Amino acid sequence: MTLSILNLYGQEDRPIAEGKVSYITLQNIYVKFETSGLVQPGDTVFIRKDQALVPLFVTESVSSLSCVGKPVAKTDIKVSDVVVIKVKKSSKPTPRKDKIPTGPSSLRTDSVQSPESKLPDKSVPGLERAERIWGRLSATSYSSFSNTSDFNQRMRYTFTLSADHISGGRISTDTYITFTHKLNEWATVKNNIFDAFKIYSLSVNYDVTNKTQVAVGRKINPKIASIGAIDGLQAETKAGNFTLGAVAGTSPDYTDYSFNPKLFEYGGYISHDINNKSGNMSSSLAFFQQTSHGMTDRRFAYFQHDNSLIKNINLFVSSEVDLYALKDSIPTNTISLTSLYLSLRYRVSKQLSAYLSYDARKNVIYYETFKNYLDLLLQDATRQGYQLRINYRPSNSISSSLTGGYRFQKNDIHPMLNVNGFLTFSKVPGINSSVTFSTNWIQSSYVDGMIYGVQLDKELVPSKLSAGINYRLVDNKYLNATSGPRSLQHMAALELSWQISKKMYFSANYDGTFEKSNKYHSIYVSLTQRF
φ, ψ of residue 194 to 5 degrees: the values are -80, -5
Question: pLDDT tier at 213 (50, 70, 90 boundaries)?
Answer: very high
Amino acid at 189: V
In angstroms, the Cα distances linking 10 to 46, 172, 259, 429, 496 are 14, 40, 46, 13, 16
* Degrees to nearest 5, angle at CA 34 with 28 and 40: 55
End-to-end CA distance of the chain: 30
User: What is the distance between the alpha carbons of residues 221 and 224, in angstroms, rounded to a whole number?
Assistant: 6
Compute the Cα dihedral for 93, 94, 96, 101 and give only its sign: negative
Nearest to 363 by CA among 417, 317, 325: 325
User: What is the distance between the alpha carbons of residues 417 and 439, in angstroms, rounded to a whole number?
Assistant: 14
Q: pLDDT tens, 315-335? A: 999 899 999 998 888 899 999
Q: Domain-by-domain residue ranges, the chain?
A: 7-530
Average pLDDT in the 358-366 region? Answer: 87
Q: Quote the pLDDT of residue 484.
A: 57
> Does residue 397 carry a pLDDT above 70?
yes
Which stretches does DSSP call E strand in 147-278?
149-164, 171-182, 197-207, 212-220, 229-239, 242-250, 264-276
Q: Which H or E run includes 376? A: helix 374-379
CB burial readout 238-252, b (16+ within 10 A) else e: beeeebebebebbbb
* Degrees to nearest 5, angle at CA 31 with 27 and 32: 150
Nearest to 220 by CA among 242, 236, 206, 203: 203
Q: Quote the pLDDT of residue 108.
A: 47
* CB-count burial class (<10 Å; 0-12, 13-18, 19+) for 288: buried
Q: Which H or E run includes 190? A: helix 186-191
> Does residue 97 carry a pLDDT above 80?
no
User: What is the distance between the alpha carbons of residues 137 and 41, in angstroms, rounded to a whole number?
Assistant: 11
Question: pLDDT tier at 117 (50, 70, 90 boundaries)?
Answer: very low
Question: pLDDT tier at 125 (50, 70, 90 boundaries)?
Answer: very low
> Does residue 372 carry a pLDDT above 60?
yes
φ, ψ of residue 466 to 5 degrees: the values are -140, 155
User: What is the distance between the alpha carbons of residues 55 and 78, in angstroms, rounded to a whole number?
Assistant: 15
User: What is the distance between the alpha carbons of residues 384 and 361, in angstroms, rounded to a whole number?
Assistant: 7
User: What is the distance between the alpha carbons of residues 38 and 86, in angstroms, rounded to a whole number?
Assistant: 9
Q: Quote the pLDDT of residue 106.
A: 39
Average pLDDT, the chain: 82
Q: Quote the pLDDT of residue 36.
A: 59
Q: Quote the pLDDT of residue 95.
A: 36
Taking the CB of residue 518, how many other CB atoms lie within 10 A of it?
A: 12
Q: Quote the pLDDT of residue 10.
A: 33
Cβ atoms of 22 and 103 within 8 Å: the answer is no
Q: pLDDT tens, 431-488? A: 889 999 999 999 988 888 999 999 999 989 988 999 999 999 999 888 765 555 778 8
Q: Quote the pLDDT of residue 111.
A: 38
User: What is the distance between the alpha carbons of residues 499 and 88, in angstroms, rounded to a whole number?
Assistant: 10
Q: pLDDT tens, 293-316? A: 999 999 999 998 999 999 999 999
User: What is the distance between the alpha carbons of residues 520 and 491, in angstroms, rounded to a whole number?
Assistant: 9
φ, ψ of residue 400 to 5 degrees: the values are -150, 160
Cβ atoms of 286 and 266 within 8 Å: the answer is no
287 vs 29: which has the higher pLDDT: 287
User: What is the distance between the alpha carbons of residues 151 and 172, in angstroms, rounded to a whole number?
Assistant: 43
Q: Is 458 helix (H, G, I), strand (E, B) or coil?
A: strand
Amino acid at 461: V
76 vs 156: which has the higher pLDDT: 156
Q: Which H or E run includes 161? A: strand 149-164
Query: Over pLDDT 90: what percentage of the chain?
Result: 52
Average pLDDT in the 26-36 region? Answer: 70
Q: Quote the pLDDT of residue 462.
A: 86
> Does residue 142 carry a pLDDT above 60?
yes
CB-facing half-sphere around the CA of 394: CA atoms within 13 A: 5
Question: pLDDT tier at 531 (50, 70, 90 boundaries)?
Answer: confident
Question: pLDDT tier at 362 (50, 70, 90 boundaries)?
Answer: confident
For the domain spanning 7-530, the CATH number is 2.40.170
| pTM score of the predicted model | 0.73
Name the β-bridge partners of 383: 361, 409
Question: pLDDT tier at 224 (50, 70, 90 boundaries)?
Answer: confident
**Of 136-145, 247-256, 323-332, which range is least confident?**
323-332
Q: pLDDT tens, 408-438? A: 887 777 889 999 999 999 888 888 899 999 9
